[in-house]
Structure 1
Amino acid sequence: MLLFLGLACSLGVTPWVPCESGRECRDAFGFGQTCGEAGYCVAVDRQARCDSTWPEDLLVRPEEYNGALIVGSLYDHTTDIPERQATRLAVKQADQSQGVDGHTVGLVQCSYEEDQVLDGLTSDEAAVEMANYLADDLGAFAIVGPATSGVTEAVYNGLPTDGPLLVSPSATSPALSYLDEPDRPEGGAGRLWRTAPPDSLQGEVLATLVETRLGNGNQHVALVYQTGPYGDGLAEVFVANWSAANRVADRYPFENDTQRSTAASSAAAPTYDAIIFISSDLPDVTAFLESIAVDEDAAEIPIFLADAARDAELLAQTKNTDAEALWPNVTGTAPAVPSGNQYDAFNSAYSGEYEGESADDSSYSAYAYDAAWLTMYGASWALANEPALNGQNAAEGLRHITDKAADSIEVGPVTWNQVQAAFAVGEDIDARGASGTLDYDPETEETTGPIEVWGIGYDDDDSPTFLVLTTVEP
């Protein structure tokens, strides 16, 4: 039997060997093999939703990458372009810096936007299917993403309890804070991490912003929000900080385009002093502004948006439309766009990799860069200090990156060998990312960060841009 297996592998043919998991087939025949639906080892099918890899021939010549450590990513490839590119940049930098402890690092980037022509799946369904493809068929020990809280919740719940580490750069719902707690081993780490802080502070800042803008007197606002972990969570934090004798928030939750349009019509009523609109989907924000813009009752009403709206695509999609007239009325909140030498180094590398594009186009590009690097930090720790590399052990590694007694280390290729050397002897580090400090609370495994209040204006070339009005520290 062993002779047959060896001959079959040398000929590039997978014999009919029964299996129960993709891991069994990879262990027997190498990367690129998985357990098929019939219960036999087969070559991995390429997925149309997974259209980008590093190295570029990773799935074309899988036999060349036996022993590679696989990271997956999950994004909406129509809207999360900066985050997707920042993730790829980080993995490419690490791989070109001798990988993780000498192992090649491979990246497979999959999408979850709805596509009726391709497969008709919802975003949640597509994300869960691709997450399991990455984990079981390709053996990914970690996944960067998803970008939104609702999809992140669906993916975490749709993976087995011994699945990969998830690190989202932008799933900020407070509802996710304890999602992984039931699956944690006693005293161990959870497998769901985030590089962006949860919305607890953003909701508080948003409520204070509306109060300040409206001034004294009765304050009656329309709160329109997308149902799900992100919208429900941020809305609850807003209301908790808004409630007072002279303040009223009428809620208009929506699940689909029809409900959103109905909510927009109701929110534009002259009885309201302001509108707060919350959605994790940029098309929702664009459509909402366009629908409000044609209502004369809403011409002067203050509009408050949340972090998902702070995206260059919003400006591109609403410029030269009726919605552009509303820009002076719009104020928003979001985790602060990073700054400083570390961010500048990241942005320079990003611009060089992507033909002059700027990471400033998204609030979350730096968070995505850091998220990708953290998966590799977790892998390095696990390879040096744990029995094996898997999602749980990589998560344990992330408990060793916030040691204030250690020297600060900037995340990126320049310090990569220093990080691996520290982990190799069991030492912790104090990581500082392109997105800012990565000070994870040992209990909640979450970080904090400043919140930016922003508006929309024009630069010296009369191009639309986001204006930073103030920054609130945690």
Structure 2
Amino acid sequence: MRALFMTGVVSVLATGCSLTVAGGLDECATSADCESDQVCVQQLCLPLPAGCLADPYGSTEADAIRMGALFPLHTSPEPGASLDESDVQGLNAALLALDEVNQRTLNGKKIALFFCDTGSSKDVAEKQARWLVDDKKVAAILTAGSSQTLAAADVTIPAGVLTMSYSASSPELTVKPDTNGGSVGLLWRTSPSDAIQGSVIANLLRTRSDLFGGTIPSKVGILYVEDQYGQGLSNIISEQLNTGPTRVANRTFLYQRGGDVKVVLDSLDMTYDPDVTVLIGFADDATAILKEASTRTNLKRENGHRWFFSDSVKDSTVLADSLAASQARAFYGTAPAQGTGQAFSTFSARFNDKYKKDPAGYAYTSNAYDAMYLLALSASYSLSTTNAVTGVKMAEALTRVSSGSSSTNTQLTNSNFTYLAAELAANRPINVEGASGPLDFDSNGEARAPVELWQVGDSGFVTIASNLEPPQ
């Protein structure tokens, strides 16, 4: 983890402080006067917020455009917590875009991206967001996850700071007030709402017998993590299964992130005995659940039980555990689809060249890449119109990236960035297609996208279909 943090980061060298004031706090002029785990705030050396880096990725120039990033690289803020591989690769995707943008500059400026690891905690994310807004004076924050994004938005929206998430999928983001008294919303996401994914999952459960051993399941269990993401997606799936001409019996079961899953699996196994269980959770929990479920009579694959996975289970961490992988093998899951145009091809090739990994093996990597590019485009627009970068002006720019005709559709690639920035600066409408697909934002700051169906293979995740839509 330390190696990851050190990549692209300028280390702060402790130079000592000139004075020590009451309470043991050192005076400083800049953060270089403080210890490596401190920052200079109002001429005092104060502790750096847990999980945050003092120096940014990207530019360290004094006039750099300041943005923040809140990524859950670890599954918990506690020492010794395991890495969340999907969000590690999400960060890598965002940094790839940042490097490409900074090679070109935005009206003569570059971007400084101040980074914090939330440890998958919404409380930590809220504190870190406040530090980024109040102390680092960022114009925008790139976030991950529904609960952490909503917590950060409680800080950013009142401050007029733009929030862009690459993986928050809760329907709650759709209805959250975000204009702060203005005319444009400050909460955006490149990930589609789970209203789409949930409807697709429910439709697959009641129409695709080929995914479930040739038989439509008569009883579906929905096992979900207790947060906004899990609550929202489980509610949508259950509601969809309970309505319409073809209804499927279902029951929901919740578990706590990182908690003991034995009790909930006992209940799922002995009191319900489902044909299929939809697992809505993150990779670390999914691994523990699959391993523990292998000891439960009614949840064993050899006894006919099948799993169906949500997007966050598409993570190599699950396959790294031999028992979990054996329990998941050949079963299916869904996630937002990757793009199919040149933007995805370019991104995929460059990501593979730099990190030696296939970005399609993780959910939301292309969404993170697009999110960073959109932030850069919107910052360039803000500079060209006001000679400053503000969250409100950046949001105004985002309302214009989906306003061109289909004939002006432009791939969001590194080679097209300068052209797209110039078009926005000239107030000409553009229509952008990113690595994650068409970025057709609606009035709620959301880009609708199709859903992919994937299967757990012997050595990775195999895309079966990439254009699934909810039934009309």
Deviation at 1:330, TM superposition (A): 2.5
User: Map of 1:73-112 to 2, 5 A cutoff?
Assistant: 73-77=69-73, 78-79=83-84, 80-97=87-104, 99-112=105-118
Large movers: runs of 4+ above 6 Å: 12-15, 29-33, 36-39, 215-218
Partners of 1:31 and 1:138 within 8 A in 2:
no
Q: Spell out the pairing of 1:28-39 with structure 2 (5 A cutoff).
A: none
Deviation at 1:93, TM superposition (A): 1.1
TM-score normalised to structure 1 length: 0.81
2:125 counterpart residue number: 127
Q: Write out per-residue CA displacement over residues 86-123 of structure 1, whole angstroms, 9 at most, x where no aligned residue.
A: 111111111111x2111121112210116xxxxxxxx1
Ranges in structure 2 where 5+ consecutive residues have no aligned partner:
1-15, 20-28, 74-82
Give 2:241's aligned residue. Answer: 242
SS of aligned partner of 1:275: strand
Distance 1:238 1:428, change over 3 A: same
Assess if the C-alpha contact under 8 Å between 1:54 and 1:92 holds in 2.
no
Could you say what secondary structure the match of 1:251 adopts?
Answer: strand
Whether the 8 Å CA contact 1:32–1:138 is kept in 2: the answer is no
Kept in 1, the 8 Å contact 2:31–2:39? The answer is: no
Looking at structure 2, the residues matched to 39 and 328 of structure 1 have their Cα atoms a distance apart, in angstroms, of 52
Aligned to 1:149: 146
Partner AA of 1:238 in structure 2:
I
Q: 1:31 to 1:426 in 2, by over 3 A?
A: farther
How high is the TM-score relative to the length of structure 2? 0.81
Partner SS for 1:151: helix
CA contact (8 A) 2:278 2:307 kept: yes
Does structure 1 retain, via aligned residues, the 8 Å contact 2:58–2:102? no
What are the equivalent positions in structure 2 for 1:23-422 lying under 5 Å apart? 40-42=42-44, 46-47=48-49, 49-51=51-53, 58=60, 65-77=61-73, 78-79=83-84, 80-97=87-104, 99-113=105-119, 123-145=121-143, 147-159=144-156, 161-181=158-178, 183-186=179-182, 188-211=183-206, 212-213=208-209, 219-244=218-243, 247-258=248-259, 260-269=261-270, 271-279=273-281, 281-299=282-300, 300-316=304-320, 318=321, 320-321=322-323, 323-328=324-329, 330-354=331-355, 356-386=356-386, 388-405=388-405, 407-422=408-423
Equivalent pair of 1:14/1:42 in contact (CA under 8 Å) = no
Aligned 8 A contact 1:222 1:252 in 2: yes
Between the aligned partners of 2:465 and 2:257, the Cα distance in structure 1 is 33
Partner secondary structure for residue 268 of structure 1: helix
Cα distance in structure 2, aligned partners of 1:324 and 1:234: 24
Paired AA for residue 456 in structure 2: I
- Residues in 2 aligned to 1:165 and 1:360: alpha-carbon distance in whole angstroms: 28
Distance 1:66 1:420, change over 3 A: same
Greater shift, 229-238 or 339-348, is seen at 339-348
Match of 2:23 in 1: none
Are the equivalent residues in 2 in contact too, given 1:14–1:43 (CA < 8 A)? no
Deviations 1:164-219 (A, max 9, x none): 211111111111112134x4434x22111110111111111111222233677882
Counterpart of 2:91, as a letter, is R
Structure 1 stretch displaced more, 256-265 or 209-218: 209-218
- Cα deviation for residue 379 of structure 1 reads 0.9
| Structure 1 counterpart SS, 2:67 | strand
Aligned length: 421
Measured in 1, the distance between the counterparts of 2:101 and 2:153 equals 26
The amino acid that maps onto 2:167 is S
Q: Taking every aligned residue pair, what percent have the same amino acid on both sides?
A: 25
Q: Which has the higher mean CA deviation after the structures are superposed, 338-347 or 234-243? A: 338-347
Asked whether 1:468 is paired with 2:468, we answer: no
More displaced stretch, 402-411 vs 444-453: 402-411
Deviations 1:245-304 (A, max 9, x none): 85221121223544633222221237322211212x221111111111122321220111
Determine whether 1:450 maps to 2:450.
Answer: yes
Query: Counterpart amino acid of 1:381?
Result: Y
In the TM superposition, residue 327 of structure 1 has moved relative to its aligned partner by: 2.3
Letter of the 1:91 partner, please give it: L
Rounded Cα–Cα distance in structure 2 between residues aligned with 1:341 and 1:258? 42
SS at match of 2:175: coil
Query: Which residue identity lines up with residue 368 of structure 2 in the other structure?
Result: A
Residue ranges of structure 1 left out of the alignment (5+ in a row): 1-11, 16-28, 59-64, 115-122, 459-463
